[in-house]
Amino acid sequence: MRNLTRAEVKNASLSQLKKMCDDLREEIFRTVSACGGHLSSNLGAVELTVALHRVFDFPRDKVVFDVGHQCYTHKLLSGRATLFHTLRKEGGISGFPKREESEYDCYGTGHAGTAISAALGLAKARDLKGEDGEVIAVVGDGSFNNGLIYEALNSLKILDTRILIILNDNGMSISPTVGGTHEILEEMKGEAVPSEDVKLFERFGLTYMGVCNGNDLEELLPELDRAKEILKTKSVLLHVVTRKGQGYAFSENAPAETHGMSPHPSVKQEYSHALGEELIALAEKDARVVAVTAAMTDSLGLRPFFEKFPSRAFDVGICEEHASVLCAALAAGGMRPYYAVYSTFLQRSFDEIVHDICGQNLPVTFCIDRAGITGEDGETHQGVFDLSFLAPIPEITVAIPKDIGEFRAMLRASLDCRGPLVIRYPRAGTEGEVNPLEMGTFEVLHSTMSDIAVLAAGERCLCLARELLKKAENEGFSFTLVNARFLKPLDSMLLASLKQKYIVTLEDNVLIGGLGDAIARFYREDGRIVRSFGYADAFIPHGESSALAKKYGLDGERVFETLREFYARG
C-alpha cells in the first residue's frame, strides 16, 4: 500500500474514505497473514482511526492507543504504509506504538490501562508549555476494568486539563470482557437515552458522548467533530461501539482466536495445553484447587478448566494486581489457587507478590507463560525480567521446567509446596517425560570427568546446551550438563558436590539478577570460574525469537568458544 498524504485523508469524499477503509483493512489482513500480529483488534478500529486522522491534525494533536494492538491503521496513515510489510520483523515496523519509530507515535504502549494517565501527562505538559494541540486516548472496554484507568479518571479534576477519551467498546478483552464496569457499559449501549451511569463519568469531570457506531463513518465523523468542539473547554469521553474483527467474517466470529496471530503456526506443543490438563487433574483430586486469570482464559490454556469447574475458575478481567491479592486471600482461606499469567504482565503484580503472597508465605502457584524472549511483539512483551525480579523475594520457590513433561511434574508436585511457587515457561516446547521431582533439586543430564559443567535452565537453554554437547563430543571433549531447574532455592547440595572448575550458566532471562548471578554467588570465594550467558542489559525489540536470543546473548557460537577455551585451559 502506498503512503497517503494528510491532504488525501482530509479532502477525501465519504465514499473515498470508505474505499480507503476497505484498502486499509485489506492491507492489514494481508500483512498479518504474512507477518502475524493482532488482527481482530486492528480490523475493528479502522474507521475509528481514519476518522481521527480526518478530524485531528497529527502529530501536532496526539493519540495514545491503550495496549497499542489497534494502531496499525494509524501507522498506515502516518507515512509507514510502504514499510508495513516489515511489520514485526527485526528492524521493521513494530506492532505497537513506539516513540522512536515515528513522531506520530507520541507514547509507547503494550500493557493495558496506561493510556488515560499518559494522555493526561501529555496534555498537562502541553498546558505548562503553553502549546496547542489536542490529546486523545483510545481505550478498549477491556482496559476499562484496569485499576490504572480508574486512578487516572480519579485525577482528571486534580490535573485540571483537557483530554478526549475514546472508549472503544467491542465487548472483548482478549477473552470477552467481564465485571461490573462491563455490565454498566453494556447497559449504556442498550439504552436510547443516556442512562444514569453517564453521571459516573461526569462526576470525574468528563462530558459523556455516545453511544456511537465506531465502524460507521457517517455516524462517527460528526460525533468526533462535536467532541472536538467540546474539548476546547472540557474533557470528553466518546463511547463508540466497534466490532472486533469487523469486515473479516472469520475474525468477527472468532475474535479471541484471531486476537494475536502467529505467522507460522507452531509445530511444537504449547505449555498452556498441558497447564489446562494438569490443573483439571489436580482439581479432580483436590477440592482446594482453583484457577484465576486476568482476561486470558484461552491463551493460557484454561478454557477446559473453566468449562469443567466453572465455580472454581475466575476470570477477573485485566486486573493483574487484584488477581494476585485474590489468590493470596483464597490461599489464606485454605484454598490452593493457581494464577496463570504472561511473564510480562506479572510485572504488574510485583508489589502484591511481595506484600500479600510471599510476605504471608501463602501457597499460591503462579503459572508464568511466555517467559523468555517471546519475539515479534517486541519490548513490551518479552518475558526476560521475571527471574531477576522474583529472585530477591523471600519465601518464593522459582521453577524453570526443561520441557512440558517436567512442567507437568512440577504442577503435580506443586500441591506439596507449602509456600508461594512460580513456574515459568515459554509458549511452546516439546512434550518430554513426566518424572516425579522434588522442589529445589537440579537434575544431572550428562555426567563426565571433564573440568567443565554447564548449568542451564529452561527449554531454550537446555536445547542449546544439548547441541553444544554434541558439538563438543564431535570435537573430542565433553562437559557435565545440569538442568538447573530451580532458581530458588538453588540445589546447594548438588552445587557443592560438583567437581568442575569451570561453570557455564545459560538462562533465557537478562543476566543481571538471574540464574547466573545466583550460581556465581553460591560459588564466590571457592576458586571456580563462573561464566554466564543470558540477555544483555537492554530492551529487546521485536523480531524472530531465536535470532533475538542469539543476538542479545544466547549465541551458541560464543558459548562454544567459552567451552573450548575452558577445555584448552584444562
Residue whose CB is less far from a copy of itself, 84 or 339: 339
Judge whether 354 and 374 are in contact, CB under 8 Å: no
Select which of 244, 336, 424, 488 is catalytic.
244
Site for a copy of itself in 370-399 (CB under 8 A): 379-380, 385, 388-389, 391-395
Site for a copy of itself in 392-431 (CB under 8 A): 392-395
CB of 50 to a copy of itself, least distance (A): 25
Cell numbers linked to 132:
496547542
- Judged by CB under 8 A, does residue 128 bind a copy of itself? yes
Of 555, 560, 565, the closest CA to residue 534 belongs to: 555
Collapse the DSSP code of 244 into the 3-class scheme (helix H, G, I; strand E, B; otherwise coil) and give the result: coil
Judge whether 407 and 401 are in contact, CB under 8 Å: yes
Sign of CA dihedral 508, 514, 517, 523: negative
Residue whose CB is less far from a copy of itself, 106 or 164: 106
Residue whose CB is less far from a copy of itself, 117 or 215: 117
For residues 558, 559, 561 and 564, what is the CA-based torsion angle, rounded to 10 degrees? 180
Site for a copy of itself in 428-447 (CB under 8 A): none
Q: Does the annotation mark 320 as catalytic?
A: yes
Specify the DSSP element, H or E, that contains 466.
Answer: helix 459-475
Of 484, 511, 488, the closest CA to residue 498 belongs to: 484
Rounded CA separation 43/25 (Å): 6
- Judged by CB under 8 A, does residue 530 bind a copy of itself? yes
Rounded CA separation 271/323 (Å): 21
Segment interacting with a copy of itself, rule: CB under 8 A, options 74-82, 265-273, 445-453, 508-516: 508-516
Segment interacting with a copy of itself, rule: CB under 8 A, options 75-83, 261-269, 368-376, 513-521: 513-521
Rounded CA separation 102/93 (Å): 10
Rounded CA separation 540/442 (Å): 29
Q: For a copy of itself, which residue of 193, 537, 568, 570 counts as binding (CB under 8 A)?
A: 537
- Judged by CB under 8 A, does residue 569 bind a copy of itself? no
- Judged by CB under 8 A, does residue 90 bind a copy of itself? no
Residues listed for the chain: 570
Residue whose CB is less far from a copy of itself, 64 or 434: 64
Of 28, 13, 139, 125, the closest CA to residue 74 belongs to: 28
- Phi, psi for residue 481 in degrees, rounded to 5: -115, 125
- Judged by CB under 8 A, does residue 539 bind a copy of itself? yes
- Judged by CB under 8 A, does residue 249 bind a copy of itself? no
CB of 246 to a copy of itself, least distance (A): 26
Rounded CA separation 277/404 (Å): 12
Distances (CA, A) of 171 to 105, 186, 492: 26, 8, 50
CB of 438 to a copy of itself, least distance (A): 20
- Phi, psi for residue 204 in degrees, rounded to 5: -85, 0
- Judged by CB under 8 A, does residue 319 bind a copy of itself? yes
Rounded CA separation 52/222 (Å): 11
CB of 69 to a copy of itself, least distance (A): 14
CB of 259 to a copy of itself, least distance (A): 20
- Judged by CB under 8 A, does residue 520 bind a copy of itself? yes
CB of 412 to a copy of itself, least distance (A): 22
Residue whose CB is less far from a copy of itself, 255 or 514: 514
- Judged by CB under 8 A, does residue 501 bind a copy of itself? no
Select which of 62, 75, 162, 348 is catalytic.
348
CB of 256 to a copy of itself, least distance (A): 18
Site for a copy of itself in 155-214 (CB under 8 A): 155-159, 178-184, 196-197, 199-200, 203-205
Q: For a copy of itself, which residue of 118, 398, 421, 465 counts as binding (CB under 8 A)?
A: 118
Specify the DSSP element, H or E, that contains 185.
Answer: helix 180-190
Q: For a copy of itself, which residue of 81, 335, 371, 462 counts as binding (CB under 8 A)?
A: 335
Distances (CA, A) of 306 to 285, 302, 331, 369, 418: 16, 6, 19, 18, 25
Sign of CA dihedral 312, 313, 315, 321: positive
CB of 217 to a copy of itself, least distance (A): 30
- Judged by CB under 8 A, does residue 352 bind a copy of itself? yes
Bond preceding residue 211 cis, omega within 30 of 0: yes
Q: For a copy of itself, which residue of 65, 107, 271, 477 counts as binding (CB under 8 A)?
A: 107
Give the DSSP letter string of 92-103.
S--SS--TTT-T
Of 146, 242, 236, the closest CA to residue 198 belongs to: 236
CB of 42 to a copy of itself, least distance (A): 21
Question: Hey, which residues does 269 pair with through a beta bridge?
Answer: 429
CB of 463 to a copy of itself, least distance (A): 24
Select which of 134, 278, 320, 352 is catalytic.
320
Q: Under rule CB under 8 A, how many of the chain's residues touch a copy of itself? A: 110
Return the beta strands (E) in 511-560 as ranges.
Answer: 529-535
Give the DSSP letter string of 306-327.
HHH-GGGEEE--S-HHHHHHHH
- Judged by CB under 8 A, does residue 258 bind a copy of itself? no
Residue whose CB is less far from a copy of itself, 438 or 525: 525
- Judged by CB under 8 A, does residue 452 bind a copy of itself? no
Place of cell 513433561: 405
Q: For a copy of itself, which residue of 13, 285, 525, 570 counts as binding (CB under 8 A)?
A: 525
Q: For a copy of itself, which residue of 31, 117, 299, 374 counts as binding (CB under 8 A)?
A: 117
Site for a copy of itself in 133-152 (CB under 8 A): 145-152
Active site residues: 244, 320, 348
